[in-house]
Structure 1
Amino acid sequence: MDPKHLMQLAVIIELGSVTKAAQKMNVTQPTLSRVVKIIEDRAGGAVLRRGRYGVSATDIGARLAEEGREIIRRSERAQIAIQEWRSGLKGELRVGVGPMLAATIMGDFFVEAIEDPPPYSLKLHCEVAARLVERLKNNELDVAVIPYELNRKDDGLYREKLFTEHLSIFVGENDPLARKAKVSPKDLAQHHWISVGAISGLFDVTRETLDRLGLPDVAPIIESSGDVTMTFRMLEKTRSCSMLPFRMAGTFQERFRVAPVDLDVELQARDIGLWTTTTGRDRPEIVDFVERLTVFLQKTVR
């Protein structure tokens, strides 16, 4: 199968139109129609469905188009590599960051990386911690900044602690519990609970914590797997509470009117770690990245 034909098929399916694809690739529509015919002859069946609003992929068409998209992605990455090399960048570092860290402290770290660029390019990925671990295992990432302790076995990965962290209950700044000393877990029973486990890599820690606090009948009214700012907005405006990493969430107190509760029991630690593969930790790019991140955290996380 001609790789160029697969790339052209991918563009046709992405745009849903042979005409639009021809315009985008600066070729004639008959040329693309012939390409589709060649692919269909080779596949032994139709790769496109023609409908009222354009074309869509058949099953085999979708599979072949995905191969075409991968060829396009590889070509684009090769072009980027050339541009980076010409700019003096030697190598790249693929960095995974959990959503909570991305929303709180890591943005400022990468601001410094722009102002004082490293001698390598940075490719950033923001996903939940479990997915970033899988990416590390599959060699799709070089390093991940995520919770140090995860409820899973991670053979072949190396991790080191970046800073200590613990969980805390947050409410809106105007909530009476924000000003009360030694809040009892029972005081939280009538609040709406917002779970942010998916964005913090906390898994079922919210449920476990509620049981430990003697609140087995309380269930989160909302489970968030998106931007943490939504949670803070809900805390500001409603009688709600949420369990969040104390030091990271504290960085939002200047932007949102939220506050930690002075709970009379201590919640579990939730330290933040840097994860790499065992064999990759000594790479010069990773060594440099860790040094920069360590300096940043020493002056930022208090």
Structure 2
Amino acid sequence: MDITRLRHIAAVADTLSFSRAAEQQNITQPALSRSIAAFEARHSLKLFDRGRGGVTVTPAGEFVVGEARALIRASDEFARNVRLYAQGAAGRVAFGIGPLLASLVLPGLGSRLLAASPSLEIATLIKPAVDLLPDLYDDSIEMIIGTDWQVADASGIAIEEIALLDLAHVVRGDHPLARLDQVTPEDLAAYPAARPVGMTTGKADAGAFICDNFHILRETALATDCTWITAPAFVRQELAEGRMKALAVEGRALAKSRICMITLAGRTRSPAARIVADLVQQAVRGCARG
């Protein structure tokens, strides 16, 4: 169905004048008349009667005009939704993100996205990158934001580094190790470790509390003798207030965590996914600088 022709029909019904309808639709009156005549001929219907008193809508015309208005509204809504989708302001975006990054960036990211694009549906999966690969392969998510050390050799993916995030051994501010200017690996080994699933500390721990929720890991480290490897950016306030301390470990300089965007190779991301990726990059790089 030609939406433009339906607009012509609705305009005549609105104005009860072919000349005013033609002006409203920005076409000539003969062109408008031909458009409506073509519709009438195709469907064997008479939509308008023209007489000295002006234009009158026929019963068939009343039916067609009602249907035309519904289609015009649907067409306008469709165009609006496509425009919003192209701007990344509507539709659905799903992505996976590692536990630490989720704790660092998701609260701010969610509020920024929903403030700018309240029609956008945002779905997140929080797992280590290696556990998110099946979701990426079956298109449940469009991308993974996280470390790539466990997935670097996976097939069919593209990896883009977006930031390097500092890591440190931290303990509560009144921990016995917090009094030392430098601790040894043996000092660390005397205490349990708080750590996420899949992370090894490089030492034989006295014990361990393993959890992928970094907020719980933080509370555990604050309340126990656990040592904890995390991003100083995540505990910036606790470090500033002295409730936590970053340890200097002899011969144990921690490498920076390489934060990457992982997608299916050759796959075009949705506009919303591109916007999410840009905002995550900004947030992660901000944490890395901070």
TM superposition score category, shorter chain reference: 0.5 to 0.7
Q: 1:173 to 1:98 in 2, by over 3 A?
A: same
Contact 1:101 1:248 in 2 (8 A): no
Cross-structure match for 1:243: 229
Cross-structure match for 1:274: 261
1:82-139 deviation line (CA, Å, top 9, x unaligned): 9x95995543211112222222232212221122228743222222322212211121
- 2:149 corresponds to 1:154: no
- Could you tell me how far apart the structure 1 residues matched to 2:263 and 2:256 are? 22
Contact 2:239 2:246 in 1 (8 A): no
Rg larger in structure: 2
- The alpha-carbon deviation at position 243 of structure 1 amounts to 2.2
TM-score of the aligned structures, taking structure 1 as reference length: 0.58
Cross-structure match for 2:243: 257
Q: 1:296 to 1:151 in 2, by over 3 A?
A: closer
- Counterpart selection for 1:232 from 198, 218, 222: 218
Contact 1:236 1:256 in 2 (8 A): no
Contact 2:81 2:90 in 1 (8 A): yes
Contact 1:281 1:287 in 2 (8 A): no
- 2:183 corresponds to 1:183: yes
Alignment of 1:93-132 (within 5 A): 93-117=93-117, 120-132=120-132
- The alpha-carbon deviation at position 146 of structure 1 amounts to 1.2
Identity of aligned residues (%): 15
Q: 1:86 to 1:161 in 2, by over 3 A?
A: closer
- Counterpart selection for 2:200 from 205, 209, 231: 205
Question: What amino acid is the match of 2:170?
Answer: F
Q: 1:256 to 1:231 in 2, by over 3 A?
A: farther
- The alpha-carbon deviation at position 298 of structure 1 amounts to 4.0
- The alpha-carbon deviation at position 178 of structure 1 amounts to 2.6
- 2:277 corresponds to 1:290: yes
Q: 1:157 to 1:118 in 2, by over 3 A?
A: farther
Question: What amino acid is the match of 1:181?
Answer: D
Contact 1:194 1:220 in 2 (8 A): no
- Could you tell me how far apart the structure 1 residues matched to 2:275 and 2:83 are? 19
Contact 2:92 2:123 in 1 (8 A): yes
Cross-structure match for 2:8: none
TM-score of the aligned structures, taking structure 2 as reference length: 0.60
1:127-177 deviation line (CA, Å, top 9, x unaligned): 232221221112111011111322562111112112102432121111142
Q: 1:110 to 1:92 in 2, by over 3 A?
A: same
- 2:189 corresponds to 1:222: no
Question: What amino acid is the match of 2:154?
Answer: D
- Could you tell me how far apart the structure 2 residues matched to 1:270 and 1:260 are? 16
Partner of 1:149: helix, strand, or coil?
Answer: coil
- Could you tell me how far apart the structure 1 residues matched to 2:106 and 2:155 are? 27
Partner of 1:164: helix, strand, or coil?
Answer: strand
Uncovered stretches (5+) of structure 1, i.e. residues with no partner: 1-81, 211-217
Contact 2:162 2:285 in 1 (8 A): no
- Could you tell me how far apart the structure 2 residues matched to 1:153 and 1:184 are? 34
- Could you tell me how far apart the structure 2 residues matched to 1:191 and 1:259 are? 15
- Could you tell me how far apart the structure 2 residues matched to 1:167 and 1:184 are? 17
Contact 1:104 1:249 in 2 (8 A): no
- The alpha-carbon deviation at position 296 of structure 1 amounts to 3.2
Cross-structure match for 1:144: 144
Question: What amino acid is the match of 2:164?
Answer: T
Misfit runs of 4+, over 6 Å: none
Uncovered stretches (5+) of structure 2, i.e. residues with no partner: 1-77
RMSD between superposed Cα atoms in Å: 3.1
